[in-house]
Structure 1
């Protein structure tokens, strides 16, 4: 069964953030995700979820100084203490919101990073993920890692599917999983259905958007009905996050999801 979650950082921007929960519920979504919850109290977010009968399915660890351009801490040498604090903070929110998974953004490589610098980032990333996995396991949560395309996010440390799978294997923790964003994968690797099949046992969450503009999933070069059919055939029971930028009003463009329970009316 295909279960769609609204990414409230991208969808329903016609509303203030706290009003997006209600808008998502009225559009037929049963779950929500977003980048970061930390500007709001755990209690007010929990209340919004309860009132709108929504499940919280994913959010990111604190990413460092987002406004200054930082995009995660997990691979950054010298920032280990800050990363550990970010894990503790995210897991507090995850427990309150009954969210089963959190995403640890890898962070950016320095411009012109040489092989030695990349190796240092890799070693830091693996150590930090092992710490995060251990803390998350204590409270029954999963830690996700996501390859992000370097066109949208130049210099991002984790950009390829094979790299992510190698990291997961090296970390060696049962609760470290792949956040498989089909938009990013199409740009960097392509061959979506074969990647899906090969990596299926490692996938902890899936996200979608049209390629290349990152609009609704019914425009662009990816035929999502075929991918959803394959997911169903494989027995996928997780969530699919709708992390796209609407071409106009969110509700007006949501008809693509009507076969899976959404409504644009």
Structure 2
């Protein structure tokens, strides 16, 4: 059985953010992730993790302009200074929270200048924190138009070109299905570079059950291949979060 985590930006939103940690533990999770914990002091989040005996798997670099359409800035030429400031904030939070992975968001950009900017920022970031594992994630252009990193071929080429030992692929099965059309094919081609997996059903991005993605088969494949990372539930619950966790109970056996 894979090690499952709950994304607290998506799940248990019936409660305030800091109350979601206890809810995740009560539902049977022993690990969580959060996209942007920056609205709360890092120590307050750490206290909730400790109280619930939870590991924090991953956080994103900040996107303080998210509500206005911002999606990070690592690939946006001219915003290198902002990137470095926000990366430093993310590293501070990751250290306090014990975050195993830090996802660097590329932002909305395109073209060769954006690619060069992204490469240099990733190279700089990886060198700053050699003991912190970093990830990049292809996000499909239908759900997030204009996002720079929108293809697995592109991500693989960047990882190969940089060759940073602490930089990995973040494999979101939902996005992989939308980009490539088959999760199994995507995993076979790119999974060896993945340090983290996220899941959601398709269509709808709800619970990972039914629909076009055969998650029981995918989980069995991960077990057979000895995948050692976490599999995070990053979906929009169709109803109450806890009532939609039958898939989790079945996956745990």
TM above 0.5, yes or no, is yes
Task: Give the C-alpha shift of residue 86 in structure 1.
Answer: 1.3
SS at match of 1:187: helix
How do residues 95-174 of structure 1 correspond to structure 2 at under 5 angstroms? 95-109=95-109, 118-137=111-130, 140-174=131-165
Conserved 8 A contact 1:205-1:238: yes
Question: SS in structure 2 opposite 1:124?
Answer: helix
Alignment of 1:79-98 (within 5 A): 79-98=79-98
**Matches of 1:90 and 1:224 in 2, distance apart?**
32
Q: Is the 8 A contact 1:182 1:207 kept in 2?
A: yes
Post-superposition offset of 1:219 = 3.0
Structure 2 partner of 1:198: 189
Please state whether the residue corresponding to 2:39 is helix, strand or coil: coil
8 Å contact 2:170–2:194 — kept in the other structure? Answer: yes
Tell me the residue number matched to 2:176: 185
Distance 1:199 1:35 in 2: 23
Displacement after TM superposition at 1:194 (Å): 2.6
Tell me, in whole angstroms, the C-alpha distance in 2 between the residues paired with 1:191 and 1:215.
18
Whether the aligned pair in 1 keeps the contact of 2:171 and 2:191 (CA below 8 Å) is no
Residue 3 of structure 1 pairs with residue 15 of structure 2: no
Are 1:39 and 2:39 counterparts? yes
1:75 paired with 2:68, answer: no
Question: Mapping of 1:185-264 within 5 angstroms?
Answer: 185-261=176-252
Residue pair 1:74, 1:104 contacting (<8 A) in 2 also: yes
TM-score by structure 2 length? 0.97
Asked if 2 retains the 8 angstrom alpha-carbon contact of 1:29 and 1:261, the reply is no
Q: Is the 8 A contact 2:200 2:234 kept in 1?
A: yes
**How high is the TM-score relative to the length of structure 1?**
0.93
* Runs (4+) off by over 3 Å: none
Q: What CA distance in whole angstroms lies between the structure 2 residues aligned with 1:94 and 1:3? A: 20
Separation of aligned partners in 2, 1:174 and 1:75: 20
State the alpha-carbon separation in 1 of the partners of residues 232 and 144 from structure 2: 19
Whole-angstrom CA distance in 1 between matches of 2:79 and 2:3: 36
1:28–1:261 contact (8 Å) kept in structure 2: no
- Measure, in 1, the Cα distance between the counterparts of 2:141 and 2:223: 30
Contact (CA 8 Å) 2:216, 2:251: kept in 1 or not?
no
